[in-house]
């Protein structure tokens, strides 16, 4: 029901966007796209998937690591599940499959996925803050967003860097949100295990963090290439500021895969550089960043769903 509601919200927002803008001009922008830049930008999905899969390998204990091909299949299958399940549950499913394939504990596999997603979010915030500091068209709204993103980055880094800070943060969260206390307690336990696992080898931690920062640099570079593909222009530092803000808008738990909120944010934030139909075309290309890996993951999804069903049947047999 929640997924159906999010799809309806996405369609509603897109309906307003396409009703307000010059739709024939949007089609013209797409038709006049630069084919070579389109191919280059879309093909960046390949190195991004390979790098993300390699990072997933590095997250796991050396003696329990997945093969590189298995890591790729798992990343792509999770991309499919993230498209159809609410709240990025594909990543939670990824933790389950990591546990089964790598023979690691449930808490450790969840900790690895939590750390992976935390690195992704903090890397995105880092590039956003960097871009906003050099953004030339600052106004009061952008100063507020700069302060908010910087504060989020600070809290995120402190959560990863200090176990004491993390404990206080989760304790305060459980006090303020008593209905979520059980979920926060599980996350707090996983967070503590994640701290113990990664901080014992700081060289390994530095490798994961720098890889995550580089991965998100490539993500934002891909969006900049999308702008070239639609024959538009934005300074690179401005793109580092604006594209993360649009991605963050797409993370709001209101729409299907960020469709609608991300498109509206692109139209608003890129207004100084190109018109609304061009920004809407950019929104379609940004959505393809999620659709292409999901399509590529469809052939592997059945394998993991079959494995899940086999495990469930095995557990039921043990109960009987």
Quote the percentage of the chain above a pLDDT of 90.
43
Mean pLDDT computed over 137-145: 81
Name which of 1, 3, 4, 10 is nearest 249 in CA terms.
10
Where does residue 137 rank: exposed (0-12), middle (13-18), buried (19+ CB within 10 A)?
A: exposed
* Ramachandran area for residue 103 (φ above 0: left; ψ -120 to 50: alpha; else beta): left
**Separation of alpha carbons 222 and 114, rounded Å:** 25
Q: In the predicted model, what is the mean pLDDT of the chain?
A: 86
For residues 59 and 109, is the Cβ–Cβ distance under 8 A? no
The reported pLDDT for the residue numbered 291 is: 92
**Separation of alpha carbons 28 and 60, rounded Å:** 47
Report the Cα–Cα distance between both ends of the chain, in Å, rounded: 33
43 pLDDT above the threshold of 80? yes
2 pLDDT above the threshold of 80? no
Cα 211 to the center of its chain, rounded Å: 15
Mean pLDDT computed over 237-263: 87
Q: What are phi and psi of 50, to 5 degrees?
A: -65, -45
pLDDT band per the 50, 70, 90 thresholds, residue 33: very high
**Separation of alpha carbons 246 and 189, rounded Å:** 32
What are 198-216's pLDDT values in tens digits?
A: 888 888 889 999 999 999 9
Write the DSSP symbol of residue 136: S
CA atoms within 13 A on the CB side of 223: 30
Mean pLDDT computed over 98-110: 75
The reported pLDDT for the residue numbered 89 is: 65
For residues 69 and 54, is the Cβ–Cβ distance under 8 A? no
The reported pLDDT for the residue numbered 318 is: 32
**Separation of alpha carbons 173 and 152, rounded Å:** 16
């Amino acid at each position: 029901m929640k997924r159906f509601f999010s799809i309806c919200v996405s369609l509603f927002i897109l309906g307003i966007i396409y009703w307000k803008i010059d739709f024939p001009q949007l089609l013209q922008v797409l038709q006049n796209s630069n084919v070579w830049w389109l191919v280059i930008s879309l093909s960046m999905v390949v190195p991004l998937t390979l790098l993300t899969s390699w990072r997933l390998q590095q997250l796991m204990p050396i003696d329990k690591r997945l093969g590189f091909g298995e890591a790729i299949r798992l990343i792509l299958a999770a991309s499919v599940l993230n498209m159809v399940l609410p709240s990025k549950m594909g990543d939670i499913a990824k933790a389950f499959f990591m546990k089964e394939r790598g023979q690691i504990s449930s808490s450790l596999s969840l900790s690895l996925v939590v750390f992976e997603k935390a690195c992704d979010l903090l890397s995105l915030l880092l590039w956003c803050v960097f871009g906003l500091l050099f953004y030339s068209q600052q106004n009061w709204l952008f100063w507020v967003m700069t302060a908010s993103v910087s504060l989020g980055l600070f809290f995120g880094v402190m959560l990863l860097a200090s176990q004491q800070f993390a404990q206080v943060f989760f304790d305060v969260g459980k006090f303020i949100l008593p209905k979520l206390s059980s979920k926060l307690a599980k996350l707090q336990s996983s967070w503590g295990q994640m701290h113990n696992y990664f901080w014992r080898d700081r060289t390994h931690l530095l490798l994961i963090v720098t890889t995550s920062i580089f991965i998100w640099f490539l993500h934002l570079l891909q969006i900049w290439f999308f702008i070239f593909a639609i024959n538009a222009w934005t300074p690179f530092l401005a793109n580092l500021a604006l594209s993360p803000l649009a991605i963050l808008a797409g993370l709001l738990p209101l729409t299907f895969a960020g469709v609608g909120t991300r498109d509206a944010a692109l139209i608003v934030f890129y207004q100084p550089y190109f018109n609304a139909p061009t920004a809407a075309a950019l929104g379609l290309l940004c959505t393809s960043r999620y659709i292409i890996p999901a399509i590529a993951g469809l052939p592997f999804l059945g394998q993991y769903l079959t494995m899940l069903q086999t495990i469930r049947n095995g557990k039921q047999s043990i109960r009987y």
